[in-house]
Amino acid sequence: MLFVALAALTPSASAASVPIDDGATGLAVDKEAVRTAARALVAAFESCLGADPSATGVVLDVGANNGRWSYELMTSLSASVRRRTRLLMFEPQPRFVSVLAALTKQFENVLHLPVAAWTNATNLTFHLAKVNSETASLSKRNARRYGSSEAIQVRSVDLARIMRDELTGKACALLKLDVEGAEYRLIPHLLVTGALCLPTHLFVEWHLNSVPEPERLAALALRLSLPATLDTCATPPRVHVNDDYALNNLYTRVPGLDALATLHEGSHSNLTEEGKLTVRKWGATHRRAALPDRRR
């Protein structure tokens, strides 16, 4: 699996080596570099289908908004690959019904689902942003980033069920997830159901700043642990791109992060005797582990 980190591609244990990670935060905050990686992901998806002329692929655009990403995807694919690609766009905003309907007529095998992707099928309150449609969300906080919002009722679907129905057995399957903060509820559901192991190509846009402060530490932990968690899949995604755009993920408080960092900093001045002993013990353990077998 290839994982984008801070404007770079970082290999995990199951991936071919492309070692250009900065190795610091693990966050992909350089917007242009993320765009480049996203284009590489689409190219890898096309190569996947191009390798077998009889294969068919599926793309799920979850959070399609005005359909720009889906349009650019379909126009970038070769005619042969495009004919063998089924595209489902999930977007509940009524303002985009007509433009997304036009895409379903322009391309074969394209379907618009006017629903919110969620953990189950139900009715949900969805918040329409009056200024910037890209911040429309199940989160009122996120929808009001640039001003007022309007609440409407929308239908939701169990995304895990649809992924199992659409992606199981597919050699080439791309999931693009841009749900304006709902990813912190959706991804655990997709993991425990096994659905997130089904895509061969995965793009996730993260929105930590839309999460209420008391929940941000757990949300950040989910984000940082996702690459390693996906590596436990029987067949991990071949390419995984994260988008941690700074305005969506940085510059706001993560309560508890400072205290947690201090507890894990072995050189700080307030260490208890127990802490000092722990530092010495584990330091020696790791030094021994780094020695050749015959010297341990």
Block means of pLDDT (10 residues each) for the chain, 296 residues, are 41 33 64 87 96 95 97 96 97 96 97 98 91 78 76 96 97 96 97 98 95 96 96 96 91 92 73 81 83 66
What's the CA gap between 47 and 138, in Å, rounded?
35
Cα angle vertex 247, ends 241, 253, to 5°?
Answer: 105
**Under DSSP, is residue 210 helix (H, G, I), strand (E, B) or coil?**
helix
Longest CA span, the chain:
70
Residue 261: the pLDDT is 85
Cβ 3 vs Cβ 240: under 8 Å: yes
Q: At residue 123, what are phi and psi to the nearest 5 degrees?
A: -105, 135
DSSP letter at 162 equals H
Locate all alpha helices (DSSP H) within the chain, ordered by sequence.
31-50, 68-76, 79-83, 97-106, 140-143, 159-167, 183-192, 216-230, 246-249, 257-263, 273-290
For residue 133, give the nearest of 104, 100, 178, 95 by alpha carbon: 95
Residue 20: the pLDDT is 29
Tokens for 272, please give them. Answer: 């208890």
For residue 9, give the nearest of 28, 25, 24 by alpha carbon: 28
Nearest-Å Rg of the Cα atoms of the chain is 21
Query: What pTM did the predictor assign?
Result: 0.87
Residue 16: the pLDDT is 34
